[in-house]
Amino acid sequence: MAPVSTAQVLAAKEQGYQAVLRREPDNPTALLGLADTRLKMEDLEGALVPLERLATLYPEDARVSVMVEALKQRIAEEEAGDAATQKQPAEP
> Tell me, what's the pLDDT at 87?
64
CA distances 89 to 80, 83, 84, 85, Å, are 16, 12, 10, 9
Digit-coded pLDDT (tens) for 42-70: 999 999 999 999 999 999 999 999 999 99
pLDDT band at 2 (very low <50, low <70, confident <90, very high): confident
Q: Say how many C-beta atoms besides its own lie within 10 A of residue 19's C-beta.
A: 11
Is it the case that residue 40 has pLDDT exceeding 80? yes
Look at phi and psi of residue 61 and say left if phi exceeds 0, alpha if psi is from -120 to 50, else beta: beta
Set out the domains of the chain in order of their start, with CATH numbers.
Answer: 6-87 (1.25.40.10)
pTM attached to this predicted model: 0.84
Helices (H), 24-61: 28-40, 44-57
Check whether 4 has a pLDDT greater than 90.
no
